[in-house]
């Protein structure tokens, strides 16, 4: 299965509009780097600065809308920057802390189904506490009311961040279940591409915190899940196509710094 013409057009529009918007609104932060500038030139330094700036919001400006464009044809509902809920039961908070303590001490291994069941048992027990969980980057619902909640991360997340990633996934689960104890929910980390390709992604760094089979999707696993088999390959072709089409605009933009 490959992307439809409509999906391709939506992705192309996302990329084109995002880059053009960036060109129109980008103002490099003033920073004097006399040695770098004299060695590499103003235009290359401007390009370096632009790429760095683009990378900081690549997730929200490109990956999230592209994900929605792919998922809209397969899922009943697809949204970005969604709040999981406003309440967590005190009992669920204690269960989450116990799970985190056991994983940190390596006295247990991550088991997504077991963790969800433990939270489900207490999701409405005790007082409900107001919380502000991290926003869900991509929220999906199937026509069978299955929920998939994705937190999109950088390609090389810091090893120390996996603890917070795990807690976020558990808190999303508790928030959703506090409102609907019967919800069929999956919470996952998405890594948009594999920086080690063609070698496999280094999943071992996450093994102590994440249930790798049920809480992590990397590169084609993520995009093919959203858009069907072959979606990742199609996406790379679309990115290359738009890059070629916009190259004259990109080159023209950076000639202003070649002085």
Shared-domain flag, residues 153 and 48:
no
Q: Kindly report the number of other CB atoms within 10 A of residue 219's CB atom.
A: 18
CB-CB contact of 216 with 112 (8 Å)? no
Shared-domain flag, residues 53 and 171:
no
In a domain, 68, yes or no: no
Shared-domain flag, residues 145 and 199:
yes
Residue 143, domain CATH? 3.40.1560
In a domain, 212, yes or no: yes
In a domain, 223, yes or no: yes
Shared-domain flag, residues 247 and 222:
no
Shared-domain flag, residues 112 and 223:
yes
Distance CA 37, CA 237 (A): 34
The mean pLDDT of 82-106, rounded to a whole number, is: 96
- To the question of pTM greater than 0.75 for the whole model, the response is yes
The mean pLDDT of 173-196, rounded to a whole number, is: 95
User: Over the chain, what is the mean pLDDT?
Assistant: 90
Shared-domain flag, residues 53 and 128:
no
Buried b (16+ CB within 10 A) or exposed e, 93-108: bebbeebbeebeeeee
Q: Kindly report the number of other CB atoms within 10 A of residue 32's CB atom.
A: 7
Q: Is the pLDDT of residue 54 over 70?
A: yes
In a domain, 69, yes or no: no
Shared-domain flag, residues 141 and 213:
yes
What is the token pair recorded at 144? 């069978």
Q: How many domains does the chain have?
A: 2
Shared-domain flag, residues 209 and 257:
no
Distance CA 40, CA 33 (A): 11
* Residue 109 pLDDT level (bands cut at 50, 70, 90): very high
The mean pLDDT of 71-83, rounded to a whole number, is: 95
Give tens-digit pLDDT for 133-157: 999 999 999 999 999 999 999 877 7
In a domain, 70, yes or no: no
Angle at 223 between CA 218 and CA 229, to 5 degrees: 115
* Residue 43 pLDDT level (bands cut at 50, 70, 90): confident
Determine the pLDDT at residue 98.
Answer: 98
Q: Kindly report the number of other CB atoms within 10 A of residue 115's CB atom.
A: 23
Q: Which helix (H) or strand (E) holds 73?
A: none
Reduced DSSP (H G I as helix, E B as strand, rest coil) percent helix, strand, coil of the chain, to 5: 55, 15, 30
Q: Name the residue among 159, 165, 177, 204 with its Cα closest to residue 95.
A: 177
Longest Cα separation, the chain: 67
Shared-domain flag, residues 204 and 187:
yes
Distance CA 101, CA 107 (A): 9
In a domain, 157, yes or no: yes
Q: Is the pLDDT of residue 1 over 60?
A: no
Shared-domain flag, residues 257 and 194:
no
Shared-domain flag, residues 86 and 206:
yes
Domain of residue 187, residue span? 75-227
Shared-domain flag, residues 187 and 88:
yes
In a domain, 64, yes or no: no
Q: Is 77 helix (H, G, I), strand (E, B) or coil?
A: strand
């Amino acid at each position: 299965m490959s992307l439809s013409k409509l999906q391709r057009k939506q992705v192309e529009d996302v990329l084109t509009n995002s880059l053009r918007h960036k060109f129109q609104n980008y103002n490099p932060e003033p920073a004097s780097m006399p040695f770098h500038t004299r060695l590499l030139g103003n235009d290359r330094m401007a390009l370096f600065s632009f790429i760095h700036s683009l990378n900081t919001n690549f997730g929200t400006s490109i990956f999230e809308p592209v994900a929605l464009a792919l998922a809209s044809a397969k899922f009943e509902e697809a949204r970005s920057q969604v709040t999981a809920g406003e309440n967590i039961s005190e009992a669920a908070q204690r269960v989450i802390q116990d799970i985190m303590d056991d994983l940190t001490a390596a006295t247990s291994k991550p088991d997504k189904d077991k963790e969800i069941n433990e939270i489900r048992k207490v999701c409405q027990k005790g007082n409900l506490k107001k919380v502000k969980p991290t926003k869900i980057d991509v929220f999906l619902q199937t026509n069978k009311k299955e929920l998939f909640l994705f937190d999109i991360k950088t390609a090389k997340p810091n090893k120390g961040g996996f603890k917070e990633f795990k807690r976020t996934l558990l808190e999303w689960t508790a928030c959703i279940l506090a409102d609907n104890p019967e919800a069929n929910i999956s919470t996952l980390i998405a890594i948009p591409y594999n920086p080690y390709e063609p070698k496999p992604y280094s999943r071992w760094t996450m093994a102590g915190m994440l249930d790798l089979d049920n809480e992590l999707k990397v590169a084609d696993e993520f995009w093919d899940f959203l858009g069907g088999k072959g979606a990742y390959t199609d996406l790379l072709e679309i990115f290359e196509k738009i890059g070629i089409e916009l190259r004259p605009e990109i080159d023209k933009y950076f000639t202003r710094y070649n002085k």
